[in-house]
Chains A and B, each alone.
Chain A
Amino acid sequence: MLALILFFIFALLCVGGAINLLVQKHPINSALSLIVVMGSLALIYLLLGAEFVAAVQVIVYAGAVMVLFVFVIMLLNAGEEERLPHGSRVATMLGVPALIIGLGIAAAVVSHLAGLDRIAIGGPTVMNGENVFGNPQAVGHLLFREYLLPFEVTSILILVAIMGAVVLARREEE
């Protein structure tokens, strides 16, 4: 019951932040509402017993990635978004139907999974007073044994991304 109440509080925060992202005109307001979405998602991950993912969500997403976004918005001194009269109208007209179709899919999922709803999920799997399902130890065991090669490949990906970012953002000498 407590989990349900907490879920609804953070789900409302999530949806409110996502809608605020759409409504706001200035990119800095959109970025800050996305931070609200990511923070409340981290708490929903905790409700699901995913401790490691919740920590990484706060540190990497709400921390590093969003700091990068806010930094770039302030660096470029981005103003309010302007709408050109000859701008792409097709995309704008597609936006609202896309939202409706997405919500329709959500409704279909609900009606389809109504049978599964009896299996309530969430909450940490506790053994000897410790969460053994999503804790960093369990994830680390899996990550560094079965998924060692993909993990090492991601380090190369990050290295290439850093070099690409430096090369792209460098000022060209005249």
Chain B
Amino acid sequence: MVPLSYYLVLSAILFACGIAGFLIKRNIITIFLSIELMLNGVNLSFVAFAAQLNKLEGHIFVFFVMVVAAAEAAVGLAIIIAVFRTRETLNVDRVNLLRL
């Protein structure tokens, strides 16, 4: 059997990698992938605590996080497509004006 803290450490490492990718990367799609990585890290700690406390509510929360992440991915990728149509770039440093 695996101790709880191992799961929490893995979840923290995934979350930290997500934050680092969010800040370091300049490609808008990779930044979006880093957000998904952070969400996955949080989901892991939800499931680990659900097993620790023997409560199923953690699994329900993971389900809702996944639903919101799917909705966010659909809308976010649509925004990326719209940005790419007008700017012809995916680099966030080149997207620095609200107007066209």
A residues neighboring B (CB under 8 Å): 3-4, 7, 11, 14-15, 18-19, 21-22, 27, 30-31, 34, 37-38, 41, 44-45, 47-50, 52-53, 56-57, 60-61, 64-65, 68-69, 72-73, 75-76, 78, 81-84, 86-88, 91-92, 94-96, 98-99, 101-103, 105-106, 109-110, 113-114, 116-117, 119-123, 125, 133-134, 138-139, 142-143, 147, 150, 154, 157-158, 160-162, 164-166, 168-169, 171
Interface residues on B, range: 35 or more
Majority secondary structure, A binding face? helix
Interface members, chain B 40-93 (any A CB < 8 Å): 40, 43-44, 47-48, 50-52, 54, 56-57, 59-60, 62-64, 66-75, 77-82, 84-85, 90-93
Asked whether B51 lies within 8 Å of A37 as measured between CB atoms, the reply is no
B residues neighboring A (CB under 8 Å): 1-10, 12-27, 29-30, 32-34, 36-37, 40, 43-44, 47-48, 50-52, 54, 56-57, 59-60, 62-64, 66-75, 77-82, 84-85, 90-94
Asked whether B30 lies within 8 Å of A30 as measured between CB atoms, the reply is yes
- A73 partner residues in chain B, CB cutoff 8 A: 29
Q: How far is the CA of A171 from the CA of B5 in the complex (A)?
A: 49
- B7 partner residues in chain A, CB cutoff 8 A: 44, 48, 121
Asked whether A53 lies within 8 Å of B33 as measured between CB atoms, the reply is no
